[in-house]
Chains A and B, each alone.
Chain A
């Protein structure tokens, strides 16, 4: 944000308490210590501390660095804090809200502003939607000053602050477009006692599909901040893996089918250990690596494979499953349902390999058998 000329508090990142003390000494007087994690909700989770001296800065940093922070956005395990940001404290007068995202219905970037900053914008939307002001931005002409003035008036700004706000909005839009953001949110955007506007806290989300043209953003990826199983899946080339709470490992082709399968498992009284879409690439190793994930997940009591071949070919997946049995120590029962492109060849490969598995006729049969298997009713 600083690079794009958006005013941010002065400060630097520290990896040790001593470093935090040093930075606090440079900045002088009151500083803010912020845990650096890839999630929001830090304020409520004590991840942000305001201190009055370099000594206190060191103590505050030592209380954060090396711990795990649990916020409402991180999940119960939390995420590790390895760095803190040490910033000069601002004399806050008002807390405002400003963001840009892509609106699905209008298919345009949408800028939103509110004078009710510092809290969850969802809460504002529910409690007082009239306090949220919106402007849709046409890509061909870009963000226009009149739109900025409308939003700034909506935030009850005037005079120099209004002009400053409009300029800041233009810069945020420039950043949003240049970096392929899916969300650029400044919350709170504050007015200070000296009359300035400062982006006190911010969150940027980036479009995964656009990462190929942003090397700098790829480098910001921090494995430590990810859920360990999800990070492992990504390393194994399985990008669509989400950890869930149950004990049935699922391997499916297609996101909709994978979601529906998890719903069906739940409907049958069970619970999926994960969402896993192997995608449409015909890749034997993708199937092997899915099984590697199940083997690595101690919660998994049974595995359900549900493949409906289209772009993905069933025979290729079947070869992958057989290879997984050969390479890995498979100790959990596996229920397999195959259908679609090259299904007969796929079934032949499984049967001829001599591996032990439970065949399922259809979608429901697969989910039902997996639930019973995980309970130890059938094996």
Chain B
């Protein structure tokens, strides 16, 4: 098993005719993902990379039974694309787009309440279940099928971590990039919950970064509800304070936005902290070894 995407995934690409959309659609197809439809308003009836293109998502879903969407649409139109996918009843929506205004995401979140759709992203590299299905930008070759789940706010740092794991022979069940925006569709807690319930995931790598309180929420969840080991790293220990975050934004998160505070919380929650970003794979190896010997 794995979470979110697998051999049953029938992918629809919103913005398939754009540069990035078509480039990555091709990579997903090469990886083995079943891409069943594309949507670009005004280009319905054509084909891109052998994939039929529709004018809207509803029609595409009706004709192809797509059950997941990936969005490559410019920020000014991305909210519309997300809402269209939600309305068409797609259970999984992965939004790659970077630069969506925060207030637009507040609206999206309030619209998502009570609906079935799960949004991953925006501003994320997507989701991959190695050997099964890739719905995102990540380099397929660095992944190895296996039993470690990966969740991250970062894109390229995740690639590095996955490469570290694969190099050590530690395969991944699913890797989820939740994205670097302030209001991600899925949080660490949302994905941790899925991994905890997935019988093929034995351990989880969590990669956080400065700002917000997602890591602290994850720490609480790990403490109270996780039985599987979690290895964590938080990027930005050397980041100067106040550079990106608004002044009063710091009141809720307060010092909580700092890497040191997040690391403290995750550690207290029971996660094993990787000493540096180059040793996340090694840290996971040690955790797996000790849990193995424990079981014997």
Contacts and interface: CB of A to CB of B under 8 A. Distances in A.
Given A242-B243, A267-B276, A256 B250 contact: no
Contacts of B275: 267
Interface string B130-163: 0000000111001000000000111111111001
Contacts of B107: 139
A109 B251 CA distance: 14
Interface string A346-379: 0000000000000000111001000000000000
Given A104-B253, A207-B101, A242 B156 contact: no
A139 B110 contact: yes
B153 A256 contact: yes
Contact of A108 (B106, B153, B253): B106
Contact of B251 (A105, A112, A259): A112
B101 A209 contact: yes
Nearest to A268: B276
A263 B235 contact: yes
Interface string A51-91: 00000000000000000000001000000000000000000
Interface in A156-194: 177, 180, 182-183, 185
B125 interface: yes
Nearest to A97: B248
Contacts of B246: 101, 182-183, 205
B101 A310 contact: no
A272 interface: yes
B96 to A, nearest CB: 8
A103 B209 CA distance: 17
Nearest to B252: A103
B139 A340 contact: yes
Taking each of A101, A256, A367, which has the highest tally of chain B beta carbons within 10 Å of its own beta carbon? A256
A102 interface: yes
A103 B246 CA distance: 12
A2 B251 CA distance: 26
A118 B279 CA distance: 46
B287 interface: no
Contact of A367 (B156, B209, B240, B278): B278
Interface in B119-136: 125
Contacts of A177: 103
A242 B233 CA distance: 22
Contact of A263 (B98, B100, B102, B277): B277
Contacts of A125: 251, 254
Contacts of A244: 238, 240
A99 B102 contact: no
Contacts of B156: 252-254, 256-257, 308, 310, 312, 340
A7 interface: no
Contact of B248 (A99, A213, A266, A362): A99
Nearest to B208: A256
Interface residues of B, number: 65
B99 interface: yes
B238 A122 contact: no
A67 B41 CA distance: 55
Nearest to A187: B248
B110 A140 contact: yes
A331 interface: no
A254 B159 CA distance: 11
A257 B157 contact: yes
B247 A73 contact: yes
B109 interface: yes
Contacts of B142: 340
Contacts of A203: 247-248
A119 interface: no
Interface string B227-253: 000000101111110110011111111
Interface stretch (B1-9, B51-59, B211-219): B211-219
Interface string A258-301: 01111111110001100100001000000000000000000000
Interface string B95-119: 0001111111111011000000000
B253 A363 contact: no
Contact of B154 (A205, A254, A275, A280): A254
Given A121-B251, A138-B110, A260-B277, A266 B238 contact: yes
Contacts of B277: 260-261, 263-264, 363
B252 A104 contact: yes
Given A260-B235, A263-B238, A308-B159, A180 B101 contact: yes
Given A104-B213, A107-B109, A121-B248, 13 more contacts: A73-B247, A102-B183, A132-B251, A182-B102, A203-B248, A254-B154, A259-B236, A260-B154, A263-B235, A280-B98, A310-B159, A340-B159, A363-B277
Interface of B: 20, 24, 75-76, 98-107, 109-110, 125, 137-139, 142, 152-160, 163, 180, 182-183, 207, 209-210, 212-214, 217, 233, 235-240, 242-243, 246-254, 259, 275-279
Interface of A: 40, 73, 99, 101-105, 107-110, 112, 121-122, 125-126, 132, 138-140, 177, 180, 182-183, 185, 203, 205, 207, 209-210, 212-213, 242, 244, 252-257, 259-267, 271-272, 275, 280, 308-312, 339-341, 362-364, 367
- Smallest CB-CB A-B distances: 9 pairs: A256-B154, A254-B156, A364-B278, A210-B101, A256-B157, A260-B277, A183-B246, A259-B235, A257-B156
17 contacts: A101-B249, A102-B106, A104-B214, A105-B217, A107-B105, A139-B110, A180-B102, A244-B238, A252-B156, A256-B154, A256-B155, A259-B209, A264-B276, A267-B275, A272-B238, A309-B139, A310-B139
